[in-house]
Structure 1
Amino acid sequence: MKRKLFAKTILASSIAFASAATLAAPYEVIDLGNLGGDQSVAYAINEAGQVVGTANGPVTDSVREFTSHAVLFADVNVDLGTLNEGIRSEALDINELGQAVGYSNVITTVETDNGTVISDNEFAVIFSAGSVTQLPDFEGLTNTRLFAINENGITVGTGLLDVDPNDSVNPINRAFVYNSNSQEYKLIDPLTNEPNRRSFLVAINDQNEAIGYSEVDVDGATFLKAFVYDYADDVILELPANSINVTYAADINNNGEVVGSVFHSSNSTNRVAYYFNKEDASTSLIELGFFDDRFNDSRANAINNNGTIVGTALVSVPTNKIYNAFIFKDDLQNLNDLIACDTGWQLVNATDINDSGEIVGYGSKDGEVRAFKLVPTGEPVEECKTEEPTNNNGGGSIPLLTLGLLGIYGLRRKIK
């Protein structure tokens, strides 16, 4: 189900290998390629194994053709394109019909008495059957993005809403549901019903249950709180807080199981992945832990209908910011320990997983940021030769820009 938004710059070079003995082989890692450039990111996979994401273009005469185009990864990768007058797009989710959603920008140029004014605006779009379709306008809502689409054609996203056109307050992030069948919008107000608070929706399941988060005011301080929104009944369920002041939601499966990450109020740098089942009587979030208690950052990105969770977690001291992709079944496992020893890959972030157990995300290979797909092999793990770290200062790791953006918008979420 799923992350992620955005014109992004993802840098990569060598990434430190874990010094402990590693195990490998239950997954075959597949390089999903690119669109002629040196960066690609996979965000979502459906049950047919179709994968979407983003990639940059080739460099011609010292100029890169484009920084980010939505892509369908296939035997021959398909550039899904942009809206007319657009130069940037991303595909953030795909359903079983092969409909992908995301956004495209549009550049407009207007001549005024004071000179030329160039505007760059983003529009939520649906990629389907070789076309890019912009969502209809909604009064006061601009710079929209779709993060997820389910099998019913119900989509969720976020835009900037001009709450009061008569004042000078900047537009506010506002979550919305868009029904692609009826072409109707439903805006989701913040939990406290304060119009100047932000709200976000990032994923939706096939029961039309969406998840997101909203700003709330607690004793004069602003926090984020996650919630589940039932589109059919127009009802919101707030997730428990666990004495935590910032709660992000990332994905929800068809069983009502939710994953995301939370910051502990006692330590703003301590971010931990969590699991929550809305169908249980439980009143607390279940924290998934870390690779090592010293490395206090883990983030769950997606959960399939079998309850398997994927995400990313810190594998270094926080100042070094080195992250590895994880899978969680009964415990947290580093996916780099579950691929062959000689692949040359460092898997940084697992962004989605389907019910067949196929996992997509991005990592570092040959000095580039590359989209990957992991296919279960059924083979046992193998013992790999221990390799000492080659970089302890964090300078060679992929900076956590994508994860930071993911934290802002919950990046992707998708559905199964």
Structure 2
Amino acid sequence: MRTISRIFLLPGLAVLLFAPYVFAQEHQYDVIDLGAIAYDVSRGHDINEIGQVTGDTLNTDGNWRAFVWTSGSMFEVPALTGYAGDYGYGYGINIHGHVAGESGYTNPFLWDGTNTIDLGNLGGMNSGAAHALNDSTQVVGYANHSSGYDHAFMWENGVMNDLGVLSSWGGRSEARDINNAGQVVGVSASNTDPHAFLWESGIMTDLGGLGPGYSIAYAISEGGFIVGSSTSSSYRSHATLWTGGAVIDLGTLNDPDPGASEARDVNDAGQIVGWSHAHNTFNRHAFLFEAGIMRDLNDLIDPNSGWELQEAYGINEQGQIVGYGDYQGHLRGFLLEPTTGLATSNPVPGVAGEVNTVTVSGATPGERVYLAYGRQAGSTPVPGCGGLSVRIDSPQVAPPKIADSGGQVKFSNKVPSGATGKTFYIQAVEPSSCSMSNLVVYTFP
């Protein structure tokens, strides 16, 4: 048997000669319960490109705590110490698993994987929140300014910078998201109503809205799509998209009936998620907007799942969606996985020093299946498959195997004892259908 260092000897996935194929299917999702530390309560707020989720949950003391969820395991992020408020909320997570949020007595924090760091303030009181961060760990949010107002900030390498406000007279501003290009979006007092803004290279630009009222930008994609909400002509808050100089009303699930909606995140494929009042009710339902259509995510899951998906807060480039809803009478965070058909198992028995088997199921009988692996998370395009990318940096690839009549493939090799304590990222691809499996993140004990 080959050792794990030689399991995947073929060139990186990006140079494989996959047959060109345009893959299209109805978007359907499996619902994964994120669980909870205690009291059956949790909320999902953001997801990174390797499927790690942050949000908040009640701990055994009955206090809210930020968490990092990875492949079914929930880690409680320690709260800031020295403050009266013993709580924490996780709002943003980057590719490194670092978390931005709010803790203590409304203080912005960064969890760097080891420590919970108090980001401080802008010369005012200890008050604020960190809403998002990019892969360079530039953190944005709001903090109290010496003027007494809260101001949007960008924190980097220990320094908090004031992003200013739109209005000529001062007032409040709040940053809600940042992409890897350093573009920041949020909301600021203007000379009229609070307006959505784009901050770039030191300049804050008023994005306006659907009408002469309030607007807020919640998220910006790597390609510059901006989403949020704005007061519509009916004087209700409607989910809004800013792109190419246009301001677009995304409507509601209640159309043409009255109702409100908010767009909370967007990816570069133009998939937008958020919440809207459901048809003929004012109950909030999570939505997915794509190709000009707003769809109730509850219609895209198993109707017998026991879930009512209420709010969707994050979506990554793989189309995974996080948020929260009602699950059997409890407020629970969810992760929606697109049902591509392929499913990759953890290594079995999952012990270093032994022969381990990874099973891929749901493949097309008679078709080739490739298994990619690596030690770092990332994104590598699959040639010939449009925007499909495995969530592994510079992966190596196992020699392909043919799916049996049951659509199953097994990859077996001996894992050296030196793999103990090391984390591997594993994902399968069927190039003929441009199908990709779930990402397995496994640490050998």
Same-fold call, TM cutoff 0.5: yes
Contact residue 122 and residue 144 of structure 2 kept, 8 A = no
Question: Which amino acid is 2:101 matched to?
Answer: G
Report what 1:312 is aligned to: 275
Alignment of 1:178 onto 2:151: no
Shift of 1:138: 4.0
Map of 2:176 onto structure 1: 202
Q: What letter corresponds to residue 178 of structure 1 in structure 2?
A: W
Q: Does 1:225 align with 2:195?
A: yes
State the match for 1:66 in structure 2: 62
Match of 2:76 in 1: 79
Q: What is the root-mean-square deviation of aligned Cα atoms in Å?
A: 1.8
Q: Are residue 345 (structure 1) and residue 307 (structure 2) matched?
A: yes
The residue type equivalent to 2:88 in the other structure is S
Cα distance, 1:137 vs structure 2: 5.2
1:160 match: 144
Determine if contact 2:142/2:175 at 8 Å carries over to the other structure: yes
Structure 2 counterpart of 1:325: 286
Instruction: Give the whole-Å Cα distance in 2 for the aligned partners of 1:125 and 1:52.
Output: 14
CA separation of 1:131 and 1:185: change in aligned 2, threshold 3 A: closer
Deviations 1:149-200 (A, max 9, x none): 001221111122231xxxxxxx212111111x2x2222122212312x1111
Aligned position for 1:393: none
- What amino acid maps onto 1:204 in structure 2? I
Change beyond 3 A, Cα 1:333–1:174: same
1:38 Cα offset (Å): 2.5
Deviation at 1:51, TM superposition (A): 0.2
Q: Which whole-Å CA distance do the structure 2 matches of 1:237 and 1:363 have between them?
A: 35
Deviation at 1:345, TM superposition (A): 0.3
Taking the aligned partners of 1:38 and 1:329, their CA distance within structure 2 comes to 32
1:307, CA displacement in angstroms?
A: 1.4
User: Which residue matches 1:188?
Assistant: 163
Q: Contact 1:357–1:376 (CA<8 Å) still a contact in 2? A: yes
Find the residue that maps to 1:81 and give its secondary structure: coil
Contact 1:244 / 1:262 at 8 angstroms: preserved in 2?
A: no
Structure 1 residue 275 corresponds to structure 2 residue 241: yes
**Deviation (angstroms), 1:378:** 3.0
Q: Which runs of 5+ in 2 are unaligned?
A: 1-25, 342-445
Task: Judge conservation of contact 2:123–2:144 (CA < 8 Å) in 1.
Answer: no
**Which residue of the partner structure matches residue 18 of structure 1?**
none
Which residue of the partner structure matches residue 125 of structure 1? 109
Written as runs of structure 1 = structure 2, the 5 A alignment for 1:140-155 is 140-155=124-139
Higher relative contact order (CA 8 A, sep 6+): 1
The whole-number CA distance in structure 2 between the counterparts of 1:46 and 1:141 is: 32
Query: Could you tell me which residue of structure 1 aligns to residue 12 of structure 2?
Result: none
Indicate the residue corresponding to 1:16 in structure 2: none
C-alpha distance in structure 2 between counterparts of 1:76 and 1:85, whole Å:
28
Match of residue 190, structure 2, among 209, 216, 221: 216
How far is 1:362 from its partner? 0.2
Helix, strand or coil for the counterpart of 1:34?
coil
Greater Cα offset, 330-339 or 130-139 = 130-139
Match of 2:331 in 1: 369
CA contact (8 A) 1:80 1:130 kept: no
Determine whether 1:259 maps to 2:227: yes
Distance 2:221 2:98 in 1: 18
Aligned-residue offset at 1:30: 0.4
What code does the residue aligned with 2:338 have? P
**Equivalent residues in 2 for 1:41-120 (5 A)?**
41-58=43-60, 65-74=61-70, 75-86=72-83, 87-105=86-104
Distance in 1 of aligned mates of 2:122 and 2:198: 23
Query: Structure 1 vs Structure 2: percent identity of aligned residues?
Result: 28
Q: Which of 1 and 2 has greater Rg?
A: 2
Quick one: which amino acid aligns to residue 35 of structure 1? Answer: I
Deviation at 1:41, TM superposition (A): 0.3
Residue 391 of structure 2 corresponds to none
Does the 8 A contact of 2:121 with 2:145 survive in 1? no
Q: How many residues align?
A: 311
Structure 2: distance between partners of 1:258 and 1:362: 22
Deviation at 1:296, TM superposition (A): 1.9
Deviations 1:48-78 (A, max 9, x none): 10000000124xxxxxx13310111232311
Question: For 2:92, what is the secondary structure of its paired residue?
Answer: strand
Of residues 304-313 and 42-51 in structure 1, the stretch that sits farther from structure 2 once superposed is 304-313
Q: Name the stretch that deviates more: 286-295 or 339-348.
A: 286-295
1:240 Cα deviation from its structure 2 partner:
3.2
Question: Residues of 1 paired with 2:58 and 2:336: CA distance?
Answer: 22
**Counterpart secondary structure, 1:42:** strand
Q: Tell me how far apart the structure 2 counterparts of residues 376 and 44 of structure 1 sit (CA, whole Å).
A: 17
Change (3 A) 1:226 1:25: closer
Report how far residue 25 of structure 1 moved. Answer: 7.9
Q: Name the counterpart of 2:413.
A: none
> Which residue is 2:406 aligned to?
none
Q: Is this contact kept in 2: 1:295–1:315, CA < 8 A?
A: no
CA contact (8 A) 1:199 1:215 kept: yes
Say which of 257, 268, 292 aligns to 1:294: 257
CA displacement 1:362-409 (0-9 Å, x = unmatched): 000111100000000136xxxxxxxxxxxxxxxxxxxxxxxxxxxxxx
